[in-house]
Amino acid sequence: METYDTYSSWKTFQTFFPEEWRITSEFKPVEYYWNWEDFNVHVDHYYVDSSKKKHKLILLHGGGGNGRLLSPIGVFFQKLGYECIAPDLPGFGLTKIHKPNSYYTWINLVNELVNQELKKSKSPIVLCGISLGGMLAYQVACLNKNINGLIVTSLADTRKKSVQMGLSKNKWFGAFSPTLLNGASRITDDIKIPIKWTTKMWAMANNPEFVKALMNDKIGSGSAVYLKFFRTLFEVSLKIEPEDFNTCPLLFLQPEKDYIIPWSMSKPFYDALPCKKEMIILKNCGHIPLEKPGINQMIDAAISFLEKL
Give the per-residue pLDDT at 172. Answer: 59
Tens-digit pLDDT profile for residues 194-247: 999 888 889 999 999 999 999 999 999 999 999 999 999 999 999 999 999 999
pLDDT at residue 6, rounded to an integer: 92
Burial string for 148-180 (b: 16+ CB within 10 Å, else e) reads: bbbbbbbbbbbeeeebbebbbeeeebbeebbeb
Q: pLDDT tens for residues 254-303?
A: 999 999 999 999 999 999 999 999 999 999 999 999 999 999 999 999 99
Pick the range with the lowest mean pLDDT from 39-43, 53-57, 66-70, 269-273: 53-57
Q: Measure the CA–CA gap between 66 and 71, rounded to whole angstroms.
A: 10
pLDDT computed for residue 51 by the predictor: 64
Strand order in 30-36's β-sheet? 30-36, 39-46, 83-87, 56-60, 125-129, 147-152, 250-255, 277-282
Furthest CA-CA distance within the chain: 53
Cα(256)–Cα(266) distance, rounded to whole angstroms? 13
Distance (Å, whole) CA 306 – CA 309: 5
Output b/e per residue, 202-235; b: 16+ Cβ within 10 A: ebbbbeeebbebbbebebbbbbebbbbbbbbbbb
* The three-state (H, E, C) secondary structure of the chain, written as one string: CCCHHHCCHHHHHHCCCCHHHCCCCCCCCEEEEEEECCEEEEEEEECCCCCCCCCEEEEECCCCCCHHHHHHHHHHHHHHCCEEEEECCCCCCCCCCCCCCCHHHHHHHHHHHHHHHHHHCCCCEEEEECCHHHHHHHHHHHHCCCEEEEEECCCCCCCCHHHHHHHECCHHHHHHHHHHHHHCHHHHCCCEEEHHHCECHHHCCCCHHHHHHHHCCCCCCCCEEEHHHHHHHHHCCCCCCHHHCCCCCEEEEEECCCCCCCHHHHHHHHHHCCCCEEEEEECCCCCCCCCCCHHHHHHHHHHHHHHHC
What was the pLDDT predicted at 290? 94
Yes or no: say if 67 and 96 are a contact pair by the CB < 8 Å rule: no
pLDDT tens-digit readout, 111-169: 999 999 999 998 999 999 999 999 999 999 999 999 999 999 999 999 998 898 888 88
Give the pLDDT confidence of 165-187 residue by residue, as tens digits: 888 887 656 555 666 677 678 88
Residue 166 is predicted with a pLDDT of 86
Smallest CA-to-CA distance from 29 within 92, 66, 65, 78 is with: 78
